[in-house]
Amino acid sequence: MPSQSSRFEIAPWSIGWRGWDDARQARRESVFSLSNGHIGWRGSLDEGDPCEVPGAYLNGLYEQHPMPYAEDGYGYPEHGESTVIAPDGKVIRLLVGDEPFDIREGRLEHHAQELDFRAGTLHREVYWTSAAGASVRIESTRLVSLTHRAVAAVDYRVTALSGPIDITVLSEIVANEPLPEVHPDERVMAALERPFDAVDRSVAGTRATLLHRTRRSRIGVAVAMDHIVSGAANVETTATDDVARTTVTVRLAAGEGIRLQKFVGHEWSHALTDHALRDRVEAAVSTAVAREWDGLAREQREFLDAFWEASDVTVEGSARLQQAVRFSLFQVLQSAARAEVRSIPGKGLTGPGYEGHTFWDAETFVLPVLTYTLPDAAAGALRWRRATIDKARERAEQLHLAGAAFPWRTISGRECSGYWPAGTVAFHINADIAGAVLRHVRVTGDRDFERDVGLEILVETARLWVALGRFDADGVFHIDGITGPDEYSALVDDNIFTNLSAQRNLRGAAHAARRHPSAARRLGVSDEEIGSWELVADAVAVPFDAVRGVHQQSAGFTELERWDFAATSSEQYPLHSHFPYFDLYRKQVLKQADLVLALQLFPECFSAEATARAFAYYEELTVRDSSLSASTQAVVAARVGHLGLAVEYLTEAATIDLDDLKDDVDDGLHVAALAGVWTAVVWGLGGMTDGDDGLAFCPRVAEPITRFGFGVRIAGEVLRVDAAAEATTYTLSGGHPLCIRHFGEVVELEPGVPVQLATPPLPSPGETPTQPPGRSPRELRAAAQA
Amino acid sequence: MPSQSSRFEIAPWSIGWRGWDDARQARRESVFSLSNGHIGWRGSLDEGDPCEVPGAYLNGLYEQHPMPYAEDGYGYPEHGESTVIAPDGKVIRLLVGDEPFDIREGRLEHHAQELDFRAGTLHREVYWTSAAGASVRIESTRLVSLTHRAVAAVDYRVTALSGPIDITVLSEIVANEPLPEVHPDERVMAALERPFDAVDRSVAGTRATLLHRTRRSRIGVAVAMDHIVSGAANVETTATDDVARTTVTVRLAAGEGIRLQKFVGHEWSHALTDHALRDRVEAAVSTAVAREWDGLAREQREFLDAFWEASDVTVEGSARLQQAVRFSLFQVLQSAARAEVRSIPGKGLTGPGYEGHTFWDAETFVLPVLTYTLPDAAAGALRWRRATIDKARERAEQLHLAGAAFPWRTISGRECSGYWPAGTVAFHINADIAGAVLRHVRVTGDRDFERDVGLEILVETARLWVALGRFDADGVFHIDGITGPDEYSALVDDNIFTNLSAQRNLRGAAHAARRHPSAARRLGVSDEEIGSWELVADAVAVPFDAVRGVHQQSAGFTELERWDFAATSSEQYPLHSHFPYFDLYRKQVLKQADLVLALQLFPECFSAEATARAFAYYEELTVRDSSLSASTQAVVAARVGHLGLAVEYLTEAATIDLDDLKDDVDDGLHVAALAGVWTAVVWGLGGMTDGDDGLAFCPRVAEPITRFGFGVRIAGEVLRVDAAAEATTYTLSGGHPLCIRHFGEVVELEPGVPVQLATPPLPSPGETPTQPPGRSPRELRAAAQA
């Protein structure tokens, strides 16, 4: 498991890197990202250079650009949206004597960066001697506050190791930094060049504020900074349109130091006036200054202590896996903690990948984890979807459908997909959102949320499904010509994942509408309409190949030609970079779990035998060119008893970003894949399912894991699960007694009373399924590290 | 049939317009186009203004532009190609006194334009009085020479009706005229702005030559002009980079006139040096000057006399239909007569529509007509395909296929389609080309052509089919995931048209390879390979719906949901402008004939009963949002005995351009639809089929047509067919006796001996098939004229 290539230092509660290496700096910038879901700071060096992929992001801030098409079509989105680099307040440049500190010059004696999962900080330590022989120690610690949404801060210290040395520290906000290529079309990139118009700037003492507005999307952005400088230094603050700068100059004798505490406030808005924006960020900065660095850092640790106490995932037997599991959960937390009525983009706020867009990943992979670990963050993300429902209604109308059609990829809530066979028609996004609502309500028991936020989503998506599908002469309901999760298939009929997701959506809408009759009436829901949802739900097609005795990912799938895996070389992966779509679409080959995701999420719809057969069948076809597959395969592998394979998939999920298995971590982390690490442990090894009849577990350890534990929040309480080979201990924190199932047996847990239950013997799972040549999780990892 | 809206004057051998009307000038510019397949001059006014869509084209001249994609994909073409306006030598401006002649100013006493199908000229006559009271008569006659490929000419005469009047005539070549919008993407249009770099210019006496090169595609273009001026005038010739000008000044007394004969030479080349290009156009102009206008005009008429003598199509009973039929055939002739190893673009050389691209239209709709009327032109177009085969081989390799994959749309032979579901995967283009080769060889008997041009096309396309499809366990050969002719379907399996076309392609390749064994060996063809083609050909799937007793356009088609025609308003046509592709694709609705085209082209594959059932079934679903449908429906309607409906479709085909049924004639004529007029008469009313067992006819007249006749060239001779209600007369011009079938009965025709054969009674064809509401040919015409 430990990878030679990654070279990240292994520790239980942090991840570090020692020394310096020009190669793949961007990967470390992504891994060392700090975020609270509102602000994202990549792990770039304080001094700004060298830098591979710069980045400071504000969730929801975007610039609009024209969408380029070689041939036009009805309903194609006219405008795209792209993340832009927000005015960047993390920059602190340093002059030692009159030499700019640059790790590529002078002599770098020591360099270390460490992301601390409990402190919620990125710490850096440098010993450096300039070409002229001046030696300094630099320590910087950053945080993006989990308790003050608009605030990020840097504690920056320089100590003279020789002396005397003239030190100049330039603390800056820099706007209109160039965006890395986020789109292949030059014209799109041109539209994103220098996205901000300067609106206003102000300086007061050590505080400076820059106010900008994006050119096309007309979003106001304010970023302010203030400082506390310790030591007798000269401090001056200035601002131009795109740069605010506080300059600190001091002469240090050997052994003397200077400390700069920097507090940065961030806000953006479509609606607020410039004055209001400025007032808000300056207030945020004032609050932060009052707390000073130590206060912010203490609150940060307290927030995380509470989080980890409830939600830590322990894995014994592999230090690297333990680290990866906590890293993953920490980054998932960071992506959403303070998003609050914002989305969770595919890359979180860790990079410009996917133009900063949000996909189905959020609801399908990330929200289940958040609902069980940080439910308010999950609620916030769903409130964001609810806030975009008018755009989704307009889209449905444009498509001549009913209800709401949520976008496949977006920042603002408008559809931004430029390839309709894998965008517009991936309608499952709607059921994914509805499913996240239903789980959230089920797990939290929050009926107010259900009524005020969830119901409208459920109702409008239910209406979409009724309009989208059709009954055949035999009364079976079909959803034709759509695209399911697997991106190597498109325009299929009766994709099982989609159909079962729609079924859950429709039934959930019916239940919720019955539970909130007056709210439902306000949405125009009649008893007849509820009846129609149930009728459709009961009638959805679930294609099964009777000859082969296996479920079909979509109608006819198992009769398609098989991909010629034997003729495919390892250099030809990912397949979509080497083969045309049409050839992938017409053959049996999967980019990612699709039917197997249905197995994971709808266990009640498949017998144990059907699950095992389907898993084995689709394993042979799944190449995992997507990061959204390993965790699903881990879950189902464990469920059908192939625990070794499950651990392999867990390991793959845990290394996708740390070992850069997809060769694209430069652009940001795969938040959904990181969430999948939790899923692979909790749903996979923990054997969790969470249907209408409550939580169920079947925990089993497997080599090299000797013991593992996790916590799930349920109805405001925490259920800790601690699993070893022979037995599992369940501990409920408080509240009412809770019924769960352990290997099918119903157990009532009393608050505060640990219950230890034995692990039954593992029935023989039969032959281990095989993957396409070269595409087993072990081979994939080996290839990526080669 | 006569349309009030079109207002074109009805005459048997010409089409004219009297007066002036600002509205829809562009339509007349298209209709009055002159072309020889190498040069195209739209019917713009001599003086250049007013002008709606300017245009002078050279077949094959294009500029390259980047292809814009919202999302990239493997195998997407990087570069597009667009026609550009060639340096335009038809411009002749006039000053009367010191007032520019402009029909919108002064007093227009008389204005008439007439396109003459026998003279091959566009004639114009104007009586005009300037604001200052000077009256003139202007007569101009243009031709684009059918006998001198590089030459076009204008005979321009001005007569003073009052006087004395100072007359100035400016005869010009104008380069870098702005191109109308041919692409929705601004960046593409920007790349096409001012496409020419000036390379050289020269003036000698009354001759001027401009030499340019396109910026990106690096194509050299030379246009030269020379003049013969009659009357004592002052003549001066000058040239700048983009304008060559001969200025003629003269004072005319009342009743005196001046005549300017203008001769324009055109050439372009990728490969030729600038000197060679200049020499060629100047030689062409010298030749033309030596012949003078009268010589060129005489040759033009002789060429056309010969053409009409063999190939005229007569239709008695409707003067407008007679005119439309001749207009159509004349424009088809013009699109190809002297193309010579160039393509036949969708719009010919009559406008910038479709960016000047060539599609399957050429081989499927236009070449069958040319093969029977102007076989050398058909051969030239196929030689062009053959000349692009290396690009098609590269494309096949890129797609991991074998043989050659010809482009869906192109100018140079490179794939330029930016929407792969209706581009890359419309693989039938390959069989369409092969089919045109096979027909051409069958009809002309030209074995040299088969060996030197056809064989390689047949072999490489046969290889494509073998690579593209697959045998199932039952030994049936399937071609999955492709798109057939109908553009409201995509990514289907076993499209019958495609499968039967592939079958013909494979069998044709096998026969040709056996006939030319040494040429085949040079292409690497072995006996085993020939055997594999025959094996595949014999095994292609032809899906049939046993429940409904009807052939399926593609596998499963008849089980799809039906389009809700009742809920579709007339404003929602064309459907692709009002509904998303996914919804069209997943339902039973046809943009254009698809299975019915298979019925037309492969009559031997369908019983009479199956033909009738299939025709009736698909009639209900076909909305004809494409111009490529009416003629096919005319043919099959006639074949199944619905003669009234056949005449309706013939009438629609004949009016698509003259009445602008598709509302896009501004951009150029629909050459394939024009070809379809011939097809609707000859294959439709004439009941012609042309399988391996020779020509067969079942001619029947139908209201309002009382008699019709046509000629087909076969093996170098002409067979004239003259059909009336009771009998048909067949006359073979010469050569060997020819066996044909008349209503199934084999008849041997002796050269020069007319044979009259009786028309058998028409069996009752049963109920007339119906079309979707509002989409019958009669309703469609009425809607277009409303």
Interface predicted TM-score (ipTM): 0.94
Question: Which A residues 167-206 touch B at CB under 8 Å?
Answer: 184-187
Facing residues of A64 across strands? A81
What percentage of chain B exceeds 90 in pLDDT? 94
pLDDT recorded at residue B314 = 98
Picking from B64, B78, B82, B185 by the largest number of A CB atoms within 10 A of its own CB, the best residue to mutate is B185
The pLDDT value given to residue A638: 98
- Residues in chain B with CB shorter than 8 Å from the CB of A578 are 74
Identify the residue among A67, A74, A425, A493 best suited for mutation to test binding to B, counting B beta carbons within 10 A and taking the highest.
A74
* β-strands B694-697, B738-742 pairing: parallel
Is the pLDDT confidence value at A95 over 50?
yes
DSSP helix, strand, coil percent of chain B (3-state; round to 5)? 35, 25, 40
SS3 assignment, position B458: helix
pLDDT digits (tens, 9 = 90+) for A672-722: 999 999 999 999 999 999 988 899 999 999 999 999 999 999 999 999 999
List the one residue out of A713, A11, A44, A1 whose CA is nearest residue A333.
A713
What pLDDT score was predicted for residue B376? 97
pLDDT band of residue B1 (cuts 50, 70, 90) is: very low
Mutation for testing the A interface, residue in B64, B67, B69 having most A CBs under 10 Å: B69
Q: How confident is the model at residue B781 (pLDDT cuts 50, 70, 90)?
A: confident
Q: Does A425 touch chain B (CB under 8 A)?
A: yes
- Nearest chain B residue to A79 by CA distance is B70
DSSP string across A700-738: ---TT--EEEEEEEETTEEEEEEEESSEEEEEE-SSS-E
CB A52 within 8 Å of CB A25? yes
Q: In B, which residues are within 8 Å of A421 by CB distance?
A: 421, 582
User: Do A57 and A40 touch, CB atoms closer than 8 A?
Assistant: yes
Is a pLDDT exceeding 50 seen at residue B324?
yes
pLDDT class for B365, splitting at 50, 70, 90? very high
Closest-CA residue in chain A for B567?
A400
| Long-range Cβ pairs for the range A559-562 (8 Å, 24+) | A560/A586, A560/A587, A560/A588, A560/B480, A561/A586, A561/A587, A561/A588, A561/B470, A561/B478, A561/B480, A562/A587, A562/A588, A562/A589, A562/A621
B490 inside 8 A of chain A by CB: yes
Q: Does A397 touch chain B (CB under 8 A)?
A: no
Cβ-based contacts of B587 with chain A (< 8 Å)? 480-481
Structure tokens at B385: 């395909």
Residues of A designated catalytic: 487
How does pLDDT run across A261-292, given as a tens digit for each residue?
999 999 999 999 999 999 999 999 999 999 99
**Closest Cα to residue A85, out of A65, A60, A64, A56?**
A56
**Long-range contacts, B773-778 (Cβ 8 Å, 24+):** B773/B565, B773/B566, B773/B568, B774/B570, B774/B573, B775/B573, B775/B622, B775/B623, B775/B624, B776/B648, B777/B624, B777/B630, B777/B645, B777/B648, B777/B649, B777/B651, B777/B652, B778/B648
For A:68-97, CB contacts with B below 8 A are 68-77, 80
CA distance A115 to A44: 12
Choose among A187, A425, A579: nearest Cβ to B68. A187
Residue window 578-607, chain B: list those with CB within 8 Å of chain A.
578-583, 585-587
For B426, residues 6+ apart whose C-beta sits below 8 A from its C-beta are B360, B408, B482, B483, B484, B485
Kindly state the average pLDDT of the residues A546-550.
97
Q: Which amino acid is at B609?
A: E
Please check whether residue B704 touches A, CB under 8 A.
Answer: no
- pLDDT at residue B786 greater than cutoff 80: no
Which chain A residues contact residue B418 at CB under 8 A? 69-71
Mean pLDDT estimate for chain A: 96
Identify the sign of the CA torsion B81, B82, B83, B84: negative
- Residue B742 contacts residue B697 (beta carbons within 8 Å): yes
Give dist(CA B111, CA B139) in Å, integer: 10
A279, burial (CB in 10 Å: exposed 0-12, middle 13-18, buried 19+) = middle
pLDDT at residue A550, as a whole number: 98
The pLDDT of residue B2 is 38
Distance from CA of B633 to the nearest CA of A (A): 27
Do residue A73 and residue B421 have CB atoms under 8 angstroms apart? no
* pLDDT digits 0-9 by tens, B572-616: 999 999 999 999 999 999 999 999 999 999 999 999 999 999 999
Q: List the single range of B56-60, B326-330, B582-586, B661-665 with lowest mean pLDDT.
A: B661-665
Taking phi over 0 as left and psi of -120 to 50 as alpha, with beta for the rest, B613 belongs to alpha
What is the distance between the alpha carbons of residues A200 and A192, in angstroms, rounded to a whole number?
Answer: 21
Whether A737 contacts chain B with CB within 8 A: no
- Using N-to-C axis directions, what is the helix angle for B375-387 and B428-444, rounded to 10°? 140
The residue of chain B nearest to residue A583, with distances taken between CA atoms, is B481
Mean of all residue pLDDT scores within chain B? 96
Query: Looking at beta carbons, which residues of chain A come within 8 Å of B480?
Result: 560-561, 586-587
Which amino acid belongs to residue B702? A
Q: Which residues of A touch B185 (CB under 8 A)?
A: 68-70
What tens digit of pLDDT does each residue of A33-56 get?
999 999 999 999 999 999 999 999
Residues A67/A79, Cβ–Cβ less than 8 Å:
yes
Residue B225: its H or E element = strand B220-230
Nearest of A442, A420, A428, A436 to residue A386 by alpha carbon: A436
Tens-digit pLDDT profile for residues B443-479? 999 999 999 999 999 999 999 999 999 999 999 999 9
Q: How many CB atoms lie within 10 A of CB B317?
A: 16
Ramachandran region, residue B427 (left: φ > 0; alpha: ψ -120 to 50; beta: rest): alpha
Question: What's the pLDDT at A4?
Answer: 42
Of the given ranges (A34-38, A180-184, A467-471, B314-318), which has the lowest mean pLDDT? A180-184
Q: How many angstroms separate the Cα of B489 from the Cα of each of A303, A479, B373, B583, B643?
A: 56, 17, 33, 10, 29
Summarised one tens digit per residue, pLDDT across range B630-655 is 999 999 999 999 999 999 999 999 99
By residue count, chain A amounts to: 786
pLDDT recorded at residue A663: 87
Q: Is the pLDDT of residue A598 over 70?
A: yes
Q: Determine, for residues A582 and B400 on separate chains, whether the beta-carbon distance falls below 8 Å.
A: no
Amino acid A289: pLDDT: 98
**What is the pLDDT confidence band of residue A6, given thresholds at 50, 70 and 90?**
low
Residue B179's pLDDT is: 82
Q: Count of residues for chain B?
A: 786
| Neighbouring-strand partners of residue A40 | A35, A57
Q: How many CA atoms lie within 13 A of A702 on its CB side?
A: 26
Q: Residue B4 above 50 pLDDT?
A: no
B340 falls in which pLDDT band (50, 70, 90)? very high
Q: Kindly tell me if the per-residue pLDDT of B3 is higher than 60.
A: no
- Residues of B155-168 as b/e, b for ≥16 C-beta within 10 angstroms? bbbbbbbbbebebb
Strand boundaries in A99-150, DSSP class E = 99-100, 107-116, 121-129, 135-144
Nearest to A58 by CA among A247, A244, A277, A273: A277
β-bridge pairing A561-562 and A587-588: parallel
Q: Does B565 touch chain A (CB under 8 A)?
A: no
The pLDDT confidence band at residue B290, using thresholds 50, 70 and 90, is: very high
pLDDT-derived band at B180 (thresholds 50, 70, 90) equals confident
Phi, psi of B564 (to 5 degrees): -85, 85
- A398-446 pLDDT, tens digit per residue, is 999 999 999 999 999 999 999 999 999 999 999 999 999 999 999 999 9
Shortest CA gap A554–chain B (Å): 14
B41-55 pLDDT, tens digit per residue, is: 999 999 999 999 999
Q: How far is B462 from chain A (nearest CA, A)?
A: 19
Whether residue B510 has pLDDT greater than 70: yes
**Which residue in A491, A562, A573, A591 has the most chain B C-beta atoms within 10 A of its own C-beta, making it the best mutation to test that interface?**
A491
The 10s digit of each residue's pLDDT in A206-258 is 999 999 999 999 999 999 999 999 988 899 999 999 999 999 999 999 999 99
Q: What is the pLDDT of residues A574-596, one digit of tens each?
A: 999 999 999 999 999 999 999 99
